[in-house]
Structure 1
Amino acid sequence: MKGKLAQLDTALYFAVFTPSPKHWWRIVALGLSKSGNGGLYVLLAIICAIFLEQLGQQFALTAVLAFALERPVYFYLKKRIARVRPCDCFSQKALLTPGDKFSLPSGHSAGAWLYATCLSEHIPILSIPLLIWATGVSLSRVVVGVHYPLDVVVGALMGIGCASLAIGLVGML
């Protein structure tokens, strides 16, 4: 990625990223980032499927289909684009160690927005807290130093897109 967009993305990264691990928003960001690791998604889907009966089962089916659509796209783009993470480009150390080498798209952002979109579709009263949480997960990935802002925006759009497609497909059943 070259030119003005890359310069803007890097400038935004340094505006959000704080190298001090004691800064309060990095501690909050680390917690938000970890909430998007994936285990919570599985647990909540199982709980919904058991306790919310048909609504919960439809949500779980939608989420599984959405992730089945999103994961191959994510892996393809991650390897194809091969954008080096900011923590590997600059002398700034990230607050956590990422699971892979490349940063675009952000899988945490994709997963959080996918999940928030699917759950909001089935339980609309949770929409605002879910959108705040997904935004927090996305922003946290920049704050802890493992993603550029564009990475999380692309991830969010990918997650919303895959969730919307899955919602439409499950709705046709």
Structure 2
Amino acid sequence: MLEELVKYDKELFLFLNNLGTAHWDGFWLFMTNKFSAIPLYLLLAFLVYRSYGLKRLGVVMVTIALLILVTDQCANLFKYGVQRLRPCHDMDLSGLMRLVKKSCGGQFGYFSAHAANSFAVAFFFTALLRAKYRYIGVFLLLWALIVGYSRIYIGVHFPLDVLTGTLIGLFLSWLFYNLYLKALPVFKL
């Protein structure tokens, strides 16, 4: 059963990865770069400040920092615990895939920390700001989906890596959002 799932995952990866063209490579490399989200993070910080004030912005920033730290550490735990090769290190795929990124990254890639962090941030800020900004969830979900797909496009993650990262990111975001809500009375906010 597991072998069959891995086989389908590799086939889906090859299909999605080979949809790419050199014309779009720059866009996807930009979207997968963690620094490309800095303007979005600054906008979200401004929206929180505008909606809730400086004190609550401080609590949100600490919560987000802890959320990303926990998500990254979970990804590292899984990567070295599961030890699933990244597509770019999988000899079965050599010559069949497009490797857009110059360096492939570490040897193991289960699950995608990029996908986990993107969905965690998107879900947290959607829950926090949806009452004030009606369509923010749609925008943030689209951004997270693009970041997740970018990992497949550039050749460093399988679809199941991205899906698992998405689910873990959503779960951790839900957990940290609820912890954030419980912390508000403690800080008298």
**Which residue in the other structure is 1:156 paired with?**
166
**How big is each residue's C-alpha offset from its partner over 1:7-35, in whole Å with a ceiling of 9 and x where there is no partner?**
110110011112865142x332212111x
Structure 2 Cα separation of the partners of residues 37 and 5 of structure 1: 33
Structure 2 Cα separation of the partners of residues 31 and 87 of structure 1: 19
**Which residue in the other structure is 2:14 paired with?**
14
Contact 1:84/1:102 (8 A) holds in 2: yes
TM-score (norm 2): 0.78
Letter matched to residue 15 of structure 2:
A
**Which residue in the other structure is 1:94 paired with?**
99
**How big is each residue's C-alpha offset from its partner over 1:96-126, in whole Å with a ceiling of 9 and x where there is no partner?**
1233211110011011111111211222222
**Secondary structure at the residue paired with 2:22?**
coil
1:120 is the counterpart of 2:143 = no
Contact 2:49/2:56 (8 A) holds in 1: no
The partner residue of 2:113 within 107, 111, 115 is: 107
Letter matched to residue 73 of structure 2:
P
Letter matched to residue 15 of structure 1:
F
Deviation at 1:39, TM superposition (A): 6.8
Larger Rg: 2
Letter matched to residue 127 of structure 1:
G
Structure 1 Cα separation of the partners of residues 140 and 45 of structure 2: 18
Bigger drift between 134-143 and 110-119 goes to 110-119
Cα 1:64–1:42 shift into 2, 3 Å: farther
Deviation at 1:74, TM superposition (A): 1.4
Amino-acid identity (%): 24
**Which residue in the other structure is 2:155 paired with?**
145
Structure 2 Cα separation of the partners of residues 112 and 153 of structure 1: 12
**Which residue in the other structure is 2:145 paired with?**
135
Deviation at 1:94, TM superposition (A): 1.4
Deviation at 1:60, TM superposition (A): 1.4
Correspondence list, 1:10-49, <5 A: 10-18=10-18, 22-24=22-24, 26-34=25-33, 36=34, 40=38, 44=42
Backbone CA RMSD of aligned residues: 2.6
**How big is each residue's C-alpha offset from its partner over 1:43-98, in whole Å with a ceiling of 9 and x where there is no partner?**
63765676652443343132123123322211111100111111111224511123
Letter matched to residue 31 of structure 1:
F
What stretches of structure 1 move > 3 A for 4+ residues in a row? Answer: 36-39, 45-52
**How big is each residue's C-alpha offset from its partner over 1:117-137, in whole Å with a ceiling of 9 and x where there is no partner?**
121122222211110000000
Structure 2 Cα separation of the partners of residues 162 and 67 of structure 1: 9
Cα 1:62–1:17 shift into 2, 3 Å: same
